[in-house]
Structure 1
Amino acid sequence: MTIRAGVAGWPIAHSLSPLIHGEWIRAAGLDAAYTRFAPETGDAVRDLVGQVRNGELRGLNVTAPWKEVALELADDASPTARACGSANLVWRDGARLRADSTDGHGLMAALGEQAPRLDGTGRVAVVMGAGGAARAAVHALGQVFDQVRIINRTSARAEALIAAVQPHASARLVCGDAVSDAALVVNALSVPPAVDVAGLAPDAVLMDMTYRPLMTDFLRAGADRGHTVVDGLAMLIGQARPSFKTLFGLEPPDIDVRAGALRLLGEAP
């Protein structure tokens, strides 16, 4: 019987997840399908998750704007999903609907791949933004840095993020606007950040969660000054790996899915 899974969000046509999972499915020789779903309303999301609960779908990755709804609909959620206040993965486990967040795993995997010399011990990480993506970043970085600083236009949202995540992080979480002492600066905004890279420490690493374009203006400015930069595609692939294992029951095959994603983005591999 064909295993059916997919990714749900609105809009969703831009998602690279079907390409990534599809290449792994073919390489593993699975009888499986991974499809885009485009629920426009909360009710549509509930109907779709209902297909997971009744076994029509093995599970779903969930992206904006439905990650919080996915968490609410689950019977059980991982500590990470609860700390992040959202879930990007739901699946059926026996009679229970489970939820997890793999975004933080993806972020750390991307840093390990593209900035392997980065060490958070005794250092500061800066996260720009206070939305769902920022929350996952703060939670993950809060396990390995001494301090995580949140920069956001609305301080109340940053304070709310800190209140939610601090009990689940070993780092000290603070609001602020300084970047000069940061070992890592992560853009979790949907718009280009207002950061003067000339004021960064020479060894600072820059990361942007977006992958359209792959080399954002923020990353390009950093690269031009000799900084190590980490792109959002590495994070996307990193978060997809544990999702694939959960949905299809095996580790992703060791193939180069990044090359195919770059071709689809119109970037040179």
Structure 2
Amino acid sequence: MSEMHAEVIGDPIAHSQSPLIHRFWLEKLGIAGDYTRTRVREEGLHSFFARRTPDNEWRGCNVTVPHKQAVIPYVDRLDPLARTIGAVNTVVRDGDSLVGHNTDCDGFLEPLRGELAKTHLFRIARLFGTGGAARAIAHGLVAQGFTLVVIGREKAQAEKFLQGFAGEHHAAALADFAAPIDFAFDDRIGILDLVINATTLGMSGHDPLRVDFSHFAPGSIVYDIVYSPLETPLLAEARRRGLKTVDGLSMLIGQAAAAFQLFFGHRAPREHDEELRALLTAA
């Protein structure tokens, strides 16, 4: 390619909406550039970067599951936030070097800024997932004063995940949340409760996240980072129960905006978010 370009890599990758987002912003700003998607298996990461690095027009790549930790050996240095999180979702060319960044953290928090600006007596998040995206989310939540309940497929996964996080947090197994419980939640006034799905469960082609809502406090905000489909079974049930919800496009657009500026050197034109959402939901 003769024009500057970036891409998203992962396995699978066909579901990714990132090309639509970045091309939309490139067109709005009149920038000559492109953004594509490339399926890369873990064993192919070395050859992928070997092919891309000599191309001076290649600005870098976003990284999605399952490579957010596997790409770390292929970058020359890590941005401080990515180093702290231990996961990379954006690789950016800086001269002859590749720098690993993490924009998932800010992208996740963006739609919660209104709630986070309020004062709470206590903040607790039930976080399903122990992968790279969950790690970025957990760091963001702890920095915002949350106590975490991390849920892995096995409790041991969640315990290992929580090593190194300051504060008193809790680990649990996914199976513990499948059956109903008889628990009387106390007065939740002044308490911010989040329920977050940071797994692939509920994504098209995957099993749903099987949880019973008796485990979640009344008034919880339910946030699913899956965006294909946009209406996951988890969000559909939360809405049926009258709970506030945040869908996966919110994080996707937020993290993409930060990556766009790193790749192309321009602020994403967020004044067009409503038009972009319409395009993404129609795609």
| TM-score range normalised by the length of the shorter chain | 0.7 to 0.9
Q: Once the two structures are superposed, what CA deviation does each residue of 1:120-142 show, in whole Å capped at 9, x if it has no partner? A: 66211110122222212211111
Could you say which residue in structure 1 is the equivalent of 2:282? 263
Q: Which of these residues, 180, 199, 205, is aligned with residue 189 of structure 1?
A: 199
What are the residue-to-residue correspondences of 1:52-67 with 2, within 5 Å? 52-54=52-54, 55-67=56-68
Q: How far apart in 1 are the matches of 2:71 and 2:120? A: 31
Q: How far apart in 1 are the matches of 2:247 and 2:74? A: 31
Identity, in percent, stands at 36
SS in 1 for 2:159: helix
What are the residue-to-residue correspondences of 1:11-90 with 2, within 5 Å? 11-42=12-43, 44-54=44-54, 55-90=56-91
Q: Which of these residues, 213, 217, 222, is aligned with residue 201 of structure 1?
A: 217
The answer on whether the counterparts of 1:128 and 1:150 sit within 8 Å (CA) in structure 2 is yes
Q: How far apart in 1 are the matches of 2:248 and 2:118? A: 17
Q: CA deviation at 1:53?
A: 3.1
RMSD: 2.4
Q: Once the two structures are superposed, what CA deviation does each residue of 1:169-223 show, in whole Å capped at 9, x if it has no partner? A: 5x53321468957710101222233332245322210011111221211111111
Could you say which residue in structure 1 is the equivalent of 2:249? 233
The answer on whether the counterparts of 2:9 and 2:40 sit within 8 Å (CA) in structure 1 is yes
The answer on whether the counterparts of 1:52 and 1:92 sit within 8 Å (CA) in structure 2 is no
The answer on whether the counterparts of 1:129 and 1:152 sit within 8 Å (CA) in structure 2 is yes
Q: How far apart in 2 are the matches of 1:41 and 1:142? A: 30
Question: CA distance change for structure 1 residues 120 and 218 in 2, over 3 Å: closer, same or farther?
Answer: farther
Question: CA distance change for structure 1 residues 36 and 87 in 2, over 3 Å: closer, same or farther?
Answer: same
Could you say which residue in structure 1 is the equivalent of 2:205? none
Bigger drift between 126-135 and 46-55 goes to 46-55
The answer on whether the counterparts of 2:15 and 2:228 sit within 8 Å (CA) in structure 1 is no
The answer on whether the counterparts of 2:92 and 2:100 sit within 8 Å (CA) in structure 1 is yes
> What amino acid does structure 1 have at the position aligned with 2:272?
I
Question: CA distance change for structure 1 residues 133 and 9 in 2, over 3 Å: closer, same or farther?
Answer: same
> What amino acid does structure 2 have at the position aligned with 1:236?
L
Q: CA deviation at 1:16?
A: 0.2
Q: How far apart in 1 are the matches of 2:148 and 2:99? A: 29
The answer on whether the counterparts of 2:126 and 2:150 sit within 8 Å (CA) in structure 1 is yes
TM-score, L = length of structure 2? 0.83
Could you say which residue in structure 1 is the equivalent of 2:124? 124
Could you say which residue in structure 1 is the equivalent of 2:180? none
Question: CA distance change for structure 1 residues 76 and 200 in 2, over 3 Å: closer, same or farther?
Answer: same
Return 5+ residue gaps in structure 1 as ranges: 265-269
SS in 1 for 2:195: strand
Return 5+ residue gaps in structure 2 as ranges: 178-182, 202-207
SS in 2 for 1:235: helix
Residue 161 of structure 2 is aligned to residue 144 of structure 1: no
Could you say which residue in structure 2 is the equivalent of 1:159? 159
Q: How far apart in 2 are the matches of 1:120 and 1:107? A: 19
Could you say which residue in structure 1 is the equivalent of 2:230? 214
> What amino acid does structure 2 have at the position aligned with 1:139?
H
Question: CA distance change for structure 1 residues 105 and 51 in 2, over 3 Å: closer, same or farther?
Answer: farther
Residue 110 of structure 2 is aligned to residue 109 of structure 1: yes
